Amino acid sequence: MTLTRDDLAVLVLTELARREAEIAARPRPPAWRVWDVRPDADDREYGPRYSPAWFGDAATTEARRVRFLRTVYRLADAGLVAVLKSEGGRLERIRLTATGTQTVADLTTGGDHPVAG
Residue 103 has pLDDT above 70, yes or no: yes
If 0-12 CB within 10 Å is exposed, 13-18 middle and 19+ buried, where does residue 69 land? middle
Task: Kindly state whether residue 52 falls inside one of the protein's structural domains.
Answer: yes
Give the alpha-carbon dihedral of 16, 51, 114, 58, to 10 degrees.
-110
- State which residues form the domain around 30: 5-108
In one-letter notation, the amino acid at residue 90 is R
CATH of the domain at 99: 1.10.10
Indicate the pTM of the whole model. 0.87
Domain count, the chain: 1
Residue 116 forms part of a structural domain: no
pLDDT digits (tens, 9 = 90+) for 45-100: 999 999 999 998 888 999 999 999 999 999 999 999 999 999 999 999 999 999 99
Domain-located, residue 56: yes
* 39 assigned to some structural domain: yes
Dist. CA 9–CA 100, nearest whole Å: 11
38 belongs to a structural domain: yes
Q: Does any domain span residue 30?
A: yes
Please indicate, yes or no, if residue 113 is contained in any of the structural domains: no
Q: SS3 breakdown of the chain: % helix, strand, coil, rounded to 5?
A: 60, 10, 30
